Structure 1
Amino acid sequence: MKIAKSKKLAGCLVNEATCRKKLGKEIADSLFKLMNRLRKIVDVRQLFELPGNFHRLRYLPIDNVYAVTLKHPFRCIMRLDTITSTITIEQVCDYHGRFEKLYRK
């Protein structure tokens, strides 16, 4: 699968050092492990075999939005485009949707 970058996390997903500064070491390491696994995926069904409870967020009005746990309580929110086989990593937040404490300035 291809990984697209959102505007909010654009710098984080390219450089691991920048990601560690912004998100912290443990979360950045988990995020890069997840990205390496996502690149190896060939079939969409393999997404649900990922560790970290990969699941669809059904409470959102938008289709194809998924989440996976990085380091408890933080998770990665992503959007799946099945036509182009692309995953866009939208944000990293805690389980309650709060991410203002997570992103360092």
Structure 2
Amino acid sequence: GKLLILKSLAALPDWGWAWGVILTTTFFGVVGFARVGSAVFWKRVETAAPPPPPTSRADLAAPVIALALLAALSAGAGWASAYANAAAAQVLDPAIAARAVLGERAP
């Protein structure tokens, strides 16, 4: 939205001043939101929370599976890339999709 406003102001004779005002106020707004966000999210809580329960092996199952899948994808990156490229080529070629749906009658 802001980029469209700035682009529309380019036709004005004093567009530089308008850009300066808009970008400066935007900068101050971002800095203000960042300060408030930091104060809200990083504020220390005065009450002590109970200690967390010990982790079990079941709690570690999801991260271990995710890391194993990541390692498998890294090891088979060439195959996965070729598969993704072939799928993209099929999606971008409407004749292949038409033959898959209509059979050999497709144009």
Larger Rg belongs to: 2
Name the TM-score, length of structure 1 as normaliser.
0.23
Q: Which has the higher strand share?
A: 1
Q: Which has the higher helix share?
A: 2
Name the TM-score, length of structure 2 as normaliser.
0.23
Q: Taking CA–CA contacts closer than 8 Å with sequence separation of 6 or more, which of the two structures ends up with the larger relative contact order?
A: 1
